[in-house]
Amino acid sequence: MAKKSIKVRAKAKNDVITVKALITHIMETGLRKDKKTGKVIPAHFIQSVDCEHNGKAAMNAEWGPAISKNPYLSFKVAGKSGDTIKLTWTDNKGNSDSLEAKAK
Amino acid sequence: MQRRHFLKNTMVTGAAVLAASSGLLVPGQVFAAWNKDAFTAKDVPGAMKGAIGSDSAETSDKIKIKAPPIAENGAVVPVTISSTLGDVKSITIISEKNGTPLIAKFNMGAGTEAYISTRIKMGKTSNIIAICESGGKFYKAQQEVKVTIGGCGG
């Protein structure tokens, strides 16, 4: 994937990093129909988001299709400014993308 | 016949090795693979059994759900879940009346706080149930969200 699909903001305050992430993804449920053709639009959604903090697994999210389009995710992990946060997502079609960011 | 067997065998082992090595390359994969049964379950007990292995959880006031009481657009409902329970291993979000109630499960590593914020889709007015796993036990809390325009099946 050429274009980065993830935006991450990580801010450290009082030894806690607040990570906010936005992922660009259509998150199709597989239930909607195309209005013109009447055909069901196949499901296409993110199934898993992994987050690493300084190379260690900090959080893993298992998602169903009921997460909104262009998902937003925020969580908090103990750490300090300068730590690396890495986010990786994988969808049901096997596509994936990842991004590394430094906590500010 | 012999040759055929040989080829087939090497292919199978080859695939297995590939799978194993690709698993090693992704450190995040230590957590469970996508839980298809839980996410396709059509009712709340089914979803809970699939996600946390039990269909009952103790109600707790130590779990806080922040969600709008009325959501104008069911396709985007902001939900924040936090808990003061110690050592929360996972947070599961369920929307009671969605076609497939299980929305997401967040597995927390050490050092990650019991705090999750995301946006979810809701088919119609229903309760959002949050389940936290703490010390091998499951605790839940719920809040109703009124949806004026459904977000599933548009």
Q: Are residues B70 and B25 in the same domain?
A: no
* pLDDT given at position B13: 52
What percent of chain A has pLDDT above 90? Answer: 1
B42 lies in the same domain as B16: no
Is A40 an 8 Å CB contact of chain B? no
Model confidence at B3: pLDDT above 50: yes
| pLDDT tens digits, B34-78 | 777 777 777 778 778 877 877 788 888 888 889 888 888 888 888
C-alpha B110/C-alpha B70 separation (Å) is 35
Distance CA B79, CA B67 (A): 5
A88 shares contact with chain B (CB less than 8 Å): yes
Tokens 């639009």 correspond to A41
- H-run or E-run covering A88: strand A84-91
Residue B137 lies in a domain: yes
pLDDT (0 to 100) of residue B53 = 79
Same structural domain, B103 and B38: yes
Q: Give the model confidence (pLDDT) of A15-46 as tens digits.
A: 899 999 988 888 888 787 777 777 888 888 88
Q: Which residues of A touch B75 (CB under 8 A)?
A: 68-69
Left (φ > 0), alpha (ψ -120 to 50) or beta: where does B132 sit?
beta
Residue B9 covered by a domain: yes
In-domain check, residue B86: yes
Find, in chain B, the residue whose alpha carbon is nearest to that of A46.
B34
Residues B40 and B23 both lie in one domain: no
* B82, amino acid identity: S
Domain encompassing residue B51: 34-147
CATH number at residue B136: 2.60.40.2470
CA dist B90 and B88 (Å) reads 6
Which A positions 51-80 lie with beta carbon below 8 A of chain B? 51-53, 55-69, 71-79
Q: Are residues B22 and B58 in the same domain?
A: no
pLDDT at A1 over 80: no
Residue A55 has pLDDT above 80, yes or no: yes
User: Domains in chain A, please, with CATH?
Assistant: 6-102 (2.60.40.10)
- Counting one residue from chain A and one from chain B, the pairs whose CB atoms sit within 8 A come to 126
> Is residue B12 scored above 70 in pLDDT?
no
Q: Which of B66, B97, B118 to mutate to test the interface with A (most CBs of A within 10 A)?
A: B118
Nearest to A76 by CA among B111, B130, B90: B111
User: Which chain A residue has the Cα nearest residue B27?
Assistant: A57
CA distance B134 to chain A (A): 15
Do B57 and B3 belong together in one domain? Answer: no
Q: At residue B99, what are phi and psi to the nearest 5 degrees?
A: -55, -45
Q: What is the largest CA-CA distance in chain B?
A: 68
- Number of structural domains (chain B) is 2
List all residues 6 or more positions away from B1 whose beta carbon is below 8 Å from its beta carbon. none
